[in-house]
Amino acid sequence: MNEQISDVVIAMGSDSDLEIMKVAKDVLEAFEVSSTLRILSAHRTPFEMLDFATNARAKGVKVIIAGAGGAAHLPGMIAAATTLPVIGVPVSLRRLDGLDSLLSIVQMPRGVPVATVAIDNATNAAILALRILSIGDKKIESKLIEYAQFNRQTSLAKDAQLDPN
């Protein structure tokens, strides 16, 4: 088991989610924030998943990103066992196109929130994690401002190219 812990842990239900979830790690890396990838499943490794969620805060984790597909109970079960913020990524599978994952993650009962991003949108999960971390970190805050400026400039350039007249 990987015991190395960063501010952000990116958990996923299976290695088949890795291609989608790895994007969150790449985005965090671009902001110079390290993260730890874990395969944890509420269904297949319930005891390890609960052990992780129960002890995450004490180990220094600040935000948990959790992605899963299908009957995607992982983000909600992690949220049930920690008071840390949990960001859920619905991963799309071949059948049902991710709608099952989305509904499994987003429809949490009152009192146990999972901040759910769009289907397969691990980028937004990372950006939201960075926004949470930026509350206590000026360096991340200024990088987020730069990122928004970059997106603005990119969009303005596309607008200008569309019809230069």
Ligand X SMILES: Nc1c(C(=O)O)ncn1[C@@H]1O[C@H](COP(=O)(O)O)[C@@H](O)[C@H]1O
Contact residues for ligand X (CB under 6 A)? 12-14, 16-17, 41-44, 68-74, 91, 93
Which two tokens mark 86? Answer: 């949990």
Please state the closest distance from residue 17 (CB atom) to ligand X, in A: 5
C-alpha–C-alpha distance, residues 70 and 99, integer Å: 8
Nearer to ligand X, 10 or 133 (CB): 10
Nearer to ligand X, 19 or 29 (CB): 19
Please state the closest distance from residue 57 (CB atom) to ligand X, in A: 20
Please state the closest distance from residue 120 (CB atom) to ligand X, in A: 11
Nearer to ligand X, 9 or 42 (CB): 42
Tell me: is residue 159 an annotated ligand-binding position.
no
Strands 86-91 and 35-39 come out as unpaired
Task: Return the SS3 of 51.
Answer: helix
Read off the DSSP letter of residue 97.
G
Tell me: is residue 110 an annotated ligand-binding position.
no
| Contact of 67 with 12, CB cutoff 8 Å | yes
Tell me: is residue 44 an annotated ligand-binding position.
yes
Binding positions for substrate are 14, 17, 44
